Amino acid sequence: MKRALEIESESLLMQKDLDKVLIDALARKPSRLSFETTYDHINMFDWFKTLLPDWTIVIPDKSCSVHALSKWPKKVPRKDVKAWLEENKYENPNDLIDGACEPLAYYLSSLISEFHLNTKMDLDTIAQQKRFVFSAYKQTKSGLEKLQSRVAAKLIFGEYIKQNSPSPEFWAEISEGTFNHFLFGHPLAKERIREVIASGGSTKIIPLYVLCYLFDRNELSNSQLKSTKVETAQYSLHAVGLVINSSIKTIIVADPNGGLKEGSNIEFLSMPLTKLENEPTTSVSRYDRDQVDKEQKDANNAKSKTASGKLARR
């Protein structure tokens, strides 16, 4: 009984921390990272498996990053996309183009759903999943880039810019709910995913919002944090799509960034949310710490081999 109360208390505390970080991420408030992060989608895979242990969970990996939708639009088409947004009275087109993860995630999810329906590719093994993800991302990005720039702009942003403010209700399957209801790691998100599955029907497409941290190259002081004007050293909210097919018990995670790049300036917050053992930071990522640990381990192994060699010669 005592342990059950402790677990409930820890869960409520984590939910409170998640809600606070979400507020900071939406406000784009510069701050130090205080929680553990990860630089791949495996943590997301594990989270889904605690919720749906007998389901197939398909996640992107680094191989599909070459076809990441977030690389659209390139330099020349970007001018046309920006012009289209300006003509449609969007106030900050560059900001939207640079941070278009949500409309791109919706588009990618829709095309992945169609691609799987048309190809009927098996997803039973890791190798099959990798082939499917690579092919789906490649076809989706290639198709988008072949469109005339303004046509593509309307396709990606046409419905998105009609919102008064960003909301999960942009997604066709969503009629109500806040970011918390679709936030990776949040208890409310688990409940909502269960509800979507229980509702039955055909394939469903819903958002999953992922808290991230954007690292700076330097360890910033308090005054530097307060004065920074660029998007760095802050929590951020990323969007991926979930293609939920209940008939084959499968969820496909559609991330417009593809797999995370090791050593980049962005990492996902790891779930369950866990406080850093180290001091809060603006520059030291999980990847950085893992590299230091690896180098230290390699150095210790080298010393051990040298010592063993000396003993053998005696």
Q: Does residue 105 surpass a pLDDT of 50? A: yes
Over residues 269-296, the pLDDT tens digits come to 999 999 999 999 999 999 999 999 898 8
**pLDDT confidence of residue 215:** 97
Mean pLDDT score of the chain, rounded to an integer? 90
pLDDT value at 103 more than 90: yes
User: pLDDT tens, 108-144?
Assistant: 999 999 999 888 899 999 999 999 999 999 999 999 9
pLDDT of 205 above 50 = yes
What's the whole-number mean pLDDT along residues 147-152? 95
Give the model's confidence band at 307: pLDDT under 50 very low, under 70 low, under 90 confident, else very high: low
**What pLDDT does 5 receive?**
42
Instruction: Tell me the Ramachandran region of residue 84: left when phi exceeds 0, alpha when psi lies from -120 to 50, beta otherwise.
Output: alpha
Q: What is the pLDDT of residue 213?
A: 97
The confidence score (pLDDT) of residue 228 equals: 86
Q: How sure is the predictor about 62, in pLDDT bands with cuts at 50, 70 and 90?
A: confident
Does pLDDT of 96 surpass 90?
yes
pLDDT tens digits, 137-147: 999 999 999 99
Q: Residue 8 pLDDT > 60, yes or no?
A: no
pLDDT of residue 302: 72
pLDDT confidence bin for 2, thresholds 50/70/90:
very low
Confidence of residue 3 (pLDDT cuts 50, 70, 90): very low
Tell me the per-residue pLDDT of 12-25, one tens digit each, with 9 for 90 and over.
Answer: 777 899 999 999 99
64-72: average pLDDT: 91
Does 82 score more than 70 pLDDT?
yes
- Calpha distance 255→130 (Å, rounded): 14
Mean pLDDT check: name the lowest of 12-21, 42-51, 102-111: 12-21
Q: Give the global pTM.
A: 0.91
Domain extents for the chain?
Answer: 2-309
Note the pLDDT of residue 164.
83
Looking at residue 75, its pLDDT comes to 79
pLDDT digits (tens, 9 = 90+) for 160-194: 999 888 889 899 888 788 999 999 999 999 999 99
Residue-wise pLDDT for 208-222, tens only, equals 999 999 999 999 999
pLDDT at 308: 63
User: What is the structure's pLDDT at 299?
Assistant: 78
